[in-house]
């Protein structure tokens, strides 16, 4: 049996189930629905509404995974005509042949060429996928990855704390806080109490927001 297998979620969009971690990459209630709710609406759009005059935005994603969050963000960059620099850190990349089976183009304005380039493009190299969107994928564990850049928005989309608890503790939350610009934010599907306490301990202001279908709450953390 494959370590990762393709499944269809309730909104018709694909995700993967990882047998080693015994978890799916997205909510079974809807992969696209979850990504739009958590990362685009509560994350990117919220940041843009708080900064209406910005001409560019820099995003860091913890866990590139299926590339869905990056693709939906690229849609926003093109639609809003805003320059977007997107960096993603991934320790367990999805094989390209598996990634190109996803039906995400059904839910996106992204063209087939850009979609394939997103998955097949070299790691560690800036990929100019259109006039507004540049993607750099880093093949690394987040605890080993370093950058001098400061980010506006962090999509924290690792496997959950039940699966990889060390990714939701103080050391990495301090790292995320340091990566953000003042006024930046981190957004994630996780609403566990101990995780939110970690965020507060390192200096974040924490907001509990209504979750997507199948989930009561999500978390947005602000760096003032």
Q: Whole-prediction pTM value?
A: 0.96
Average pLDDT, integer, range 184-198: 97
**pLDDT over 90 percentage in the chain:** 88
Closest listed residue to residue 213, CA positions, set 65, 11, 8, 66: 11
Q: Quick: pLDDT tens for 114-141.
A: 999 999 999 999 999 999 999 999 999 9
- Residue 213 makes CB contacts below 8 A (sequence gap 6+) with 10, 27, 29, 30, 33, 34
Residues 6+ apart with CB under 8 A from 68: 13, 26, 31, 32, 35, 102, 104
Tens digit of each residue's pLDDT (9 = 90 or more) over 55-96: 999 999 999 999 999 999 999 999 999 999 999 999 999 999
Residue 1, pLDDT > 60, answer: no
pLDDT tens-digit series, residues 159-179: 999 999 999 999 999 999 999
Task: Give residue 87's Cα distance to chain centre.
Answer: 10
Q: Which domains does the chain have, with CATH numbers?
A: 31-222 (3.40.50.150)
């Amino acid at each position: 049996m494959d370590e990762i297998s393709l499944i269809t979620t309730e909104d018709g969009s694909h995700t993967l189930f990882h047998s080693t971690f015994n978890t799916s990459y997205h909510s079974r209630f809807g992969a696209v629905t979850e990504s739009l709710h958590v990362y685009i609406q509560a994350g990117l759009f919220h940041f843009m509404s708080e900064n209406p005059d910005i001409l560019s935005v820099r995003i860091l994603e913890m866990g590139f995974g299926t590339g869905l969050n990056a693709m939906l963000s690229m849609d926003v960059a093109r639609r809003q005509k805003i320059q977007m620099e997107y960096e993603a850190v991934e320790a367990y990349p999805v094989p390209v042949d598996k990634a190109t089976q996803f039906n995400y183009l059904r839910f996106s304005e992204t063209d087939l060429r850009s979609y394939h380039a997103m998955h097949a493009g070299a790691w560690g190299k800036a990929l100019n996928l259109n006039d507004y969107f540049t993607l750099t994928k880093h093949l690394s564990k987040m605890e080993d990855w370093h950058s001098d850049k400061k980010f506006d928005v962090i999509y924290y989309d690792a496997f959950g704390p039940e699966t990889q608890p060390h990714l939701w503790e103080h050391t990495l939350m301090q790292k995320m806080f340091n990566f953000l610009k003042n006024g930046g934010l981190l957004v994630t599907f996780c609403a566990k109490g101990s995780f939110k306490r970690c965020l507060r301990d390192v200096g974040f202001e924490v907001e509990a927001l209504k979750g997507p279908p199948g989930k009561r709450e999500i978390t947005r953390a602000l760096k003032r």
